[in-house]
């Protein structure tokens, strides 16, 4: 393998040569597309910190989900912004809640499309924390009881996958047991297993109005310095019954994605989060980078790091670009 006998450039000479020896590719199959659902009808409200993305009422969310399905995207993940917030986030488990309605409507319109529901309470509580508070601190086990109620309510509405995102200890067991008790043994669990306390969630919190009024989430989300702990979290979630494990955010944690995909024999999802989307959009808007190129390079990097599934706001754009390449 030495120059001049081996000349790597020979295989880079034309696009077909490059295509033939490409090791990693993107496909629509890889993506999950997030949707933010709000009460009302006919609502399609731009999210200022996420240009190109919207808060949709259920009817509009169905249209957007259908567009995603038509692009070949296999799954959407739903986030809800409730009518009313309260101290415990009770709208999260209301059978007439906005996510429950969206699940029913999307499954009716596109039965083959996988519908996932994020399950947490920060969008639903008036204080913005991910569960029930006890003397100002997150009460883990009390919050699990409500999480169990919420995932059963999503299952009743017809959800395919629930995605507990609160990083509470025992959250997968709470979901699996409650689902199985109600005969929803076919509802899968995508666990936010290694979710870091990150500044990259900023635009998302604006989109769903879920920033904590006081304090932060460092008491339950992971410390950014840790990777061995991410493996422990993933192993625990697998033992508790997770069907998919997740690393989140993606870009500052590509090494974690690699470690998890090497160590854990389960499908690995990576969440290409709101701040990662916003940075590309902001720089592209100023003409500083080529949006299409950087989006594809970024998503490919997440795949190359070992992610089987990529949750991304750029999923529809990526699928359109993949169609153009053919
Ligand atoms: C809710 C939740 C968050 C995200 C997904 N589910 C925010 C948070 O933990 O504050 C972040 C998604 C994104 O930034 O795109 N627990
Ligand atoms: Zn939360």
Query: How far does CA 135 lie from the centroid of its chain?
Result: 30
* Fold type of domain 18-325: TIM Barrel (3.20.20)
DSSP state at residue 21: T
Query: What span, in angstroms and rounded, lies between the C-alpha atoms of 56 and 217?
Result: 27
Digit-coded pLDDT (tens) for 168-189: 999 999 999 999 999 999 999 9
- What pTM was estimated for this model as a whole? 0.98
pLDDT at 326: 73
* Residue 248 bears catalytic tag: yes
156 included as an active-site residue = no
* Residue of 85, 156, 195, 320 with catalytic role: 195
Strand partners, 33: 76
- Checking if the pLDDT of 316 tops 90, the result is yes
For the four alpha carbons of 306, 154, 166 and 86, in that order, the dihedral sign comes to positive
Question: Which residues have any ligand 1 atom within 6 Å of their CB?
Answer: 118, 120, 122, 130, 165-166, 201, 204-205, 210, 217, 273-274
Q: Where along the chain do its domains lie?
A: 18-325
Examine the pLDDT at 208 and tell me if it is beyond 90.
Answer: no
Average pLDDT score over the chain:
97
* pLDDT value of residue 222: 98
Average of per-residue pLDDT across 211-240:
95
Ligand 1 centroid vs 124 CA: distance in angstroms?
13
């Amino acid at each position: 393998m030495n120059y001049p006998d081996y000349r790597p450039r020979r295989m880079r000479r034309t696009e077909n040569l490059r295509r033939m020896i490409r090791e990693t590719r993107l496909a629509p199959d890889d993506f999950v597309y997030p949707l933010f659902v709000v009460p009302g009808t006919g609502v399609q409200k731009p999210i200022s910190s996420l240009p190109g993305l919207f808060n949709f009422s259920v009817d509009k969310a169905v249209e957007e989900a259908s567009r995603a399905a038509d692009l070949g995207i296999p799954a959407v993940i739903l986030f809800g912004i409730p009518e009313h917030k309260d101290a415990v986030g009770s709208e999260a488990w209301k059978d007439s809640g906005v996510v429950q309605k969206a699940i029913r409507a999307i499954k009716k319109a596109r039965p083959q499309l996988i519908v996932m529901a994020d399950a947490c309470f920060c969008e639903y509580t008036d204080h913005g924390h991910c569960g029930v508070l006890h003397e100002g601190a997150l009460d883990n086990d009390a919050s699990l009881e409500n999480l169990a109620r919420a995932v059963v309510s999503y299952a009743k509405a017809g959800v395919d996958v629930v995605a507990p995102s609160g990083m509470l200890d025992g959250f997968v067991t709470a979901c699996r047991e409650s689902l199985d008790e109600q005969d929803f043994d076919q509802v899968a669990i995508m666990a936010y297993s290694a979710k870091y306390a990150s500044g990259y969630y900023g635009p998302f919190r604006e989109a769903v109005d879920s920033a904590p009024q006081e304090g932060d989430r460092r008491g339950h989300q992971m410390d950014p310095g840790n990777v061995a702990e991410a493996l422990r979290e993933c192993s625990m979630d697998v033992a508790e019954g997770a069907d998919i494990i997740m690393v989140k955010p993606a870009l500052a944690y590509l090494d974690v994605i690699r470690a998890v995909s090497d160590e854990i024999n389960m499908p690995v999802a990576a969440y290409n989060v709101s701040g990662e989307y916003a940075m590309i959009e902001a720089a592209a808007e100023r003409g500083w980078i080529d949006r299409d190129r950087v989006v594809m390079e970024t998503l490919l990097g997440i795949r190359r790091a070992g992610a089987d599934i990529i949750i991304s706001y750029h999923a529809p754009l990526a699928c359109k670009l993949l169609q153009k390449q053919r």
